[in-house]
Amino acid sequence: MGERTGHRVVVLEGRELLDAGYRTFLRSLIGVVPRDADLTELVEPGRMIGVLDRGKPVGVAGSFPGWLVVPGGCRLPHAAVTHVGVLPTHRRMGIMTALIAEQLTDIAARGEVVASLRATEGTIYGRFGYAIATRSATARLSLRHANVYGPRNLESSISLGDNDNDRWQTVPALCERAQWVGAVSRHRQYWALQRQVWDAGDHTSYTVIHSTNGINDGFVVYEPINPADWFEAATRSVRVSDFVAHTDSAHRGLIAHLLDLDGVDIIEFASRAVDDPLPLMLTDSRAFTVTGVRDETWLRLVDVEAALQGRTYHDGPPVVIEVIDEQLPANSGQYRVCADGVARTETSADLSVDVAALAQVYLGDAMWWQLVMSGRARAQHPGAVRKADDLFATSRLPFSGTEF
């Protein structure tokens, strides 16, 4: 591979080097995996890169191929970036800069239109063109006064999915059907890690499958908080770690199941959409409390033209957007955007924006007026912001719901 800022970036190959690279990532973040985990099963061959010092990885970055759902429902080729870290002994030497720059070049060469990651720190990735594009909420549901409006759907049914077939076949298949804006594919290594953690016995979780008219359309995974003290606890809480619903019926049915759990006082949700309709389902909306909102997807438009062409727009006058991308200069230029399509143009721009800020409005998490008011974008004439907001408008906030 290449050499950036004086550091030679190489592809990590072979069991020994891949294992060492994964452990470098874990050491950089003080992370842990099951003691007997097969680390080579948790990386994608050819996509784990690193900088070596005396033959050992001191900085690494990896990614997995997949898809991202964008407004309109198209699934764009996507790189899920993860396993990024530099050892504490080698920080502030330009190693991270070299790794991410080389990785972006490689992702572009593979034809992947977008990349995303989950950031452990909020100050690292903006300089590489990444920006927050989806957010998620943590929430608490008190079961003391929680009841759902309306009768139960008689065509809705629940089954306990605690067997291996449901856990490792049915659930992944349901995830693969995700079609909401912001959803990403869960790659093979994602499930390999979940399986290795499960097989190591580090779990006390339960899976429930929902079906409507006999067709599986959702699932929920939950576990008791402080299981060792469960029977003596004055207040018993359950944590929902995964929740996927493809239909309104599945959403209502799975929530109703959680409300029916015996001996449970509190449901803690690890990740919900910020515009979650759950409070509107309850006869007492105060039973549901958002306890925090955090950034989720950090998005990078790797091929700006293909990304803009991949999503849909509302009817309205066209807008010309100037994009500035210092990391991948082939993206820089003017783009004419309208409901009929997107094309490069030499026409003067209505709006100017860098590639990171464009990522913030791309899925619908932010609006153009917010970018302009915050100084992240510049409007060249009156009316440009309204035109852009009308074109890019989405009916729901984007949400991923997947950690990787």
Residues 6+ apart with CB under 8 A from 161: 167, 170, 171, 207, 208, 209, 219
- Angle value at C-alpha 267, between 262 and 268, nearest 5 degrees: 155
Kindly report, residue by residue over 62-108, the tens digit of the pLDDT.
Answer: 999 999 999 999 999 999 999 999 999 999 999 999 999 999 999 99
| Domain C-terminal end among 294, 328, 362 | 294
Q: Note the pLDDT of residue 131.
A: 98
Whether residue 60 is found in the same domain as residue 183: no
**How would you label 63-78 residue by residue, b for 16+ Cβ within 10 Å and e otherwise?**
bbbbbbbbbeeebbbb
Average pLDDT, integer, range 360-381: 97
| Per-residue confidence (pLDDT) for residue 284, from 0 to 100 | 92
Q: Are residues 289 and 308 in the same domain?
A: no
Give the mean model confidence (pLDDT) for residues 8-19.
92
pLDDT band at 381 (very low <50, low <70, confident <90, very high): confident
pTM for the model stands at: 0.93
Q: 120 in a domain, yes or no? A: no
Residue 206 lies in a domain: yes
CB atoms within 10 A of CB 398: 26
Q: What is the pLDDT, as a whole number, of residue 323?
A: 98
Quick one: angle between helices 384-392 and 355-362, nearest 10? 50
In the predicted structure, residue 1 carries a pLDDT above the cut 70: no
Q: 50: which residues sit within 8 A by CB, 6+ positions away? A: 9, 10, 12, 17, 21, 24, 57, 58, 59, 60, 61, 99
- Check pLDDT > 70 for residue 2: no
Give the domain CATH number at 369: 3.30.1050.10
Whole-angstrom Cα distance, residue 300 to residue 315?
A: 26
Residue 161: which domain range? 136-294
- Give yes or no: residues 163 and 202 share one domain: yes
Evaluate whether residue 119 is within a structural domain: no
With cut-offs at 50, 70 and 90, classify the pLDDT of residue 202.
low
Answer yes or no: is 400 within a domain: no
Sheet holding 135-142, edge to edge: 156-160, 206-212, 215-224, 237-245, 266-273, 135-142, 288-295
Mean pLDDT along residues 16-40: 81
Give the pLDDT mean for 34-53. Answer: 84
Q: Does residue 204 sit in the same domain as residue 351?
A: no
Residue 390, token pair as written in the block: 């009308």
43, 164: one domain? no
First to last CA, the chain: 25
Per-residue confidence band for 5, with pLDDT thresholds at 50, 70 and 90: low
CA–CA dist 266, 139 (Å, integer)? 10
What are the pLDDT digits (tens) for 277-312?
A: 999 999 999 999 999 999 999 999 999 999 999 999
Query: Residue 252 class from Cβ within 10 Å (0-12 exposed, 13-18 middle, 19+ buried)?
Result: buried
Q: Which of 268, 294, 320 is the last residue of a domain?
A: 294
In terms of domains, do 252 and 329 share one?
no
Which residue(s) pair with 338 in the sheet? 341
Residue 399 in domain = no
Look at residues 237, 266, 294 and tell me which one is the last residue of a structural domain: 294
Would you place residue 4 in the very low, low, confident or very high pLDDT band (cuts 50, 70, 90)? low
Same domain, 288 and 308: no
Contact 381, 350 (CB under 8 A): yes
Tell whether 148 and 105 lie within a shared domain: no
Whether residue 142 is found in the same domain as residue 289: yes
pLDDT of residue 334: 98
Residues recorded for the chain: 404
Overall average pLDDT of the 367-378 stretch: 97
Give the per-residue pLDDT at 224: 95
pLDDT score for 210: 97
Residue 149: the pLDDT is 84
Look at residue 397 and tell me if it is in a domain: no
Structural domain count, the chain = 3
Convert the pLDDT of each residue in 222-233 to its tens digit: 999 988 888 989
User: For 129-163, how does the pLDDT look when each residue is reduced to its tens digit (9 = 90+)?
Assistant: 999 999 999 999 999 888 888 777 778 899 999 88
Q: Is the same domain home to 204 and 352?
A: no
Domain assignment present for residue 130? The answer is: no
Buried residues in 254-283 as b, exposed as e (16+ CB within 10 A)? bbbebbebeebeebbbbbbbbebebeebbe
Residues 192 and 311 in one domain: no
User: Which domain CATH number covers 21?
Assistant: 3.40.630.30
57 within some domain: yes
Same domain? 167 vs 283: yes
Most confident of 36-40, 50-54, 153-157: 50-54
* 7 in Cβ contact with 98 (< 8 Å): yes
Tell me phi and psi for residue 343, to 5 degrees.
-150, 150
Q: Which residues pair with 137 in a beta bridge?
A: 272, 293
Rg (CA), the chain: 23
The three-state (H, E, C) secondary structure of the chain, written as one string:
CCEECCEEEEECCCHHHHHHHHHHHHHHHCCCCCCCCCHHHHCCCCCCEEEEECCEEEEEEEEEEEEEECCCCCEEEEEEEEEEEECHHHCCCCHHHHHHHHHHHHHHHCCCCEEEECCCCCCCHHHHCCEECCEEEEEEEECCCCCECCCCCCCEEEEECCCHHHHHHHHHHHHHCCCCCCCECCCHHHHHHHHHHHHCCCCCCEEEEEEECCEEEEEEEEEECCHHHCCCCCCCEEEEEEEEECCHHHHHHHHHHHHCCCCCCEEEEEEEECCCCHHHHECCHHHEEEEEEEECCEEEECCHHHHHHHCCCCCCCCEEEEEECCCCHHHCEEEEEECCEEEEECCCCCEEEEHHHHHHHHCCCCCHHHHHHHCCEEECCCCHHHHHHHHHCCCCCCCCCCCC
